[in-house]
Structure 1
Amino acid sequence: MTDGLETDVAEAADVAARRDELAARVRSHAGEMARELAVLQGGDYGQQTFDTDGGSWTLKYEAGDVQYLRFDPKSGSETYVVSSKQPPEPGPLGTAMEDYEAFVAAFNEHIDSFDGLLEDAPDEFPAVASTAELVAERDRIVERIRNVANRMAQELNRYDGEYGTYATTVSGARWELKWDGDAAAYLRVGGSDGTYLLSQYGPASAPEVRRLVDDVDDFVAAFNEYVEELEADLSEVSFDDEP
């Protein structure tokens, strides 16, 4: 009778090496399919499931490479044939590989199903209407508004200091001009959430300019009245007045 100490121990290294070699080949092969799938679906990441007689295979890709390949057999536990964590156990990997050829066939059938899909798709389209004239007219009007606003800024700079804001109400909306030196920083209509007729980021859209341009005259008129009131106040000041 033996105590077992004389029995040879099975070498696991050979099995592991074979498993690692097979897993690496599958990763490389599945990576090719992942790249093809990414090109077909037009995205950097996604996934697709393919059904076979033996179960279902889910191929997930990211940045054009395989993220994982999962086999979910019709009986038994699912196996991550390819994953970013660790290779599968030899037994489940062997079971999955028995269905791998069917998976590749299902993948190829999926790709082939798109053949001829775009043959009848039109490749000529109507000419696109140009907004050049509209934008040019918008810019011409906005430039005139900016010139007027800069004139106002110059007067405000001379009287009220290097920078500040002037605000008034026109047609029920708040018009606010901010100046910085002799230039208008912005002209905003409608409060903090309103429309910037003028700003450092660009003019308002053409529909907004059209909606507001008729009130520019009233805005300038209100400013002129403000200046006249200032002049009237200043005219009452005299160095001869006693404190």
Structure 2
Amino acid sequence: MTSPSDVGGEIGFDIDVRDVDAVADRRDELVASVRDHAGTIAYQLARLQGGDYGRTELSTPGGEWTVKHEAGELEFLLFSPNRGSDTYVVSTKRPPDPAGLATALDDYANMVAAWNDYVESLSGVLDGVTADFPEPESTDGVVAERDRVLDAVRETCGVIAGEIHRYEGDDYGTFTARVDGDRWELKWDEGAVSYLRVGGSGGVYLLSQYEAPSAADVREYADPFAGFVEAYNEFVAELESDLTRVDIS
């Protein structure tokens, strides 16, 4: 059987296959240096932008560079030359092509200069900006007034919920009434108030288990609430009238 070396000898091949290790090692050495150097830019960019993720584009005579960071660490450094293919000089995927790396590194100093120019352009941008701001007004008074009104509404609704629960005998239920065109709904749960809502499913919750209404909403519906109570009293009066007409003789 003829070996491959025999075949090569027979047809006259006498060509050495070049070892790529030296090229790959040099490329990796250069990429590591760029990663360390550009990592400083990424860190400074993160401080400037103030977020966990960010990027910036820097234009140079040779093309455009993109620096992207994640939590202050360089995620990638991309060079997009004016002519030719993009080269990820630094990335988390694979090392760059040596030829593309060489082209990018020829322009790398220009990228650093562009970054420095950008930072320099921000120098003094906050000079003269005052940090003396007006004192914000406290909402304590408004909140206290809102809570005072709501406490009275809650107390009244508690009586209504307890009475209806005692009359109906069910653990859950609602009492509804229409006041000046608005639908009011009081939901009770075992005699306690679950919510008081005005205006249907998309309306305002004057009472709820979650958050208090705005002071403006309380002001708008505080007076009409009296009409809701009157509607409840009329409901009770009708029940009493109905009961008086029951004849068991």
When normalised by structure 1's length, the TM-score is 0.93
User: 1:149, 1:40 → 2: CA distance?
Assistant: 54
Partner of 2:93: helix, strand, or coil?
A: coil
1:5 deviates by 4.4
Q: Which amino acid aligns with 2:193?
A: A
Report the equivalent of 1:235.
Answer: 244
Indicate whether 1:87 and 2:87 are aligned.
Answer: no
User: 1:224, 1:74 → 2: CA distance?
Assistant: 82
Report the equivalent of 1:155.
Answer: 163
Q: Cα gap change, 1:4/1:186 in structure 2, threshold over 3 Å: closer, same or farther?
A: farther
User: 1:76, 1:168 → 2: CA distance?
Assistant: 75
The Cα RMSD (Å) is: 1.7
Structure 2 counterparts to residues 1-243 of structure 1, below 5 A = 3=11, 5-160=13-168, 161-240=170-249
Report the equivalent of 2:4.
Answer: none
User: 2:160, 2:133 → 1: CA distance?
Assistant: 49
User: 2:241, 2:11 → 1: CA distance?
Assistant: 120
1:151 deviates by 0.3
User: 1:153, 1:4 → 2: CA distance?
Assistant: 105
User: 1:7, 1:34 → 2: CA distance?
Assistant: 46
Q: Which amino acid aligns with 1:143?
A: D
Partner of 2:37: helix, strand, or coil?
A: helix
Q: Cα gap change, 1:2/1:92 in structure 2, threshold over 3 Å: closer, same or farther?
A: farther
Runs of 4+ with deviation above 3 angstroms:
1-7
User: 1:170, 1:239 → 2: CA distance?
Assistant: 36
1:3 deviates by 4.8
Q: Give per-residue Cα distances to partners, 1:36-55, cap 9 Å, x unaligned.
A: 11211222223211122222
Q: Give per-residue Cα distances to partners, 1:182-240, cap 9 Å, x unaligned.
A: 21110000000000000001221000000001111111011001011111212222443
Partner of 1:121: helix, strand, or coil?
A: coil
Q: Which moved more, 1:3-12 or 1:165-174?
A: 3-12
Structure 1: runs of 5 or more not aligned: none
1:175 deviates by 0.2
Q: Cα gap change, 1:4/1:237 in structure 2, threshold over 3 Å: closer, same or farther?
A: farther
User: 1:142, 1:192 → 2: CA distance?
Assistant: 20
User: 1:176, 1:131 → 2: CA distance?
Assistant: 29
Q: Which amino acid aligns with 1:196?
A: Y
User: 1:100, 1:74 → 2: CA distance?
Assistant: 14
Q: Which moved more, 1:70-79 or 1:189-198?
A: 70-79
1:109 deviates by 1.7
Number of equivalences: 240
Q: Give per-residue Cα distances to partners, 1:71-104, cap 9 Å, x unaligned.
A: 1223322211122321111111011111111211
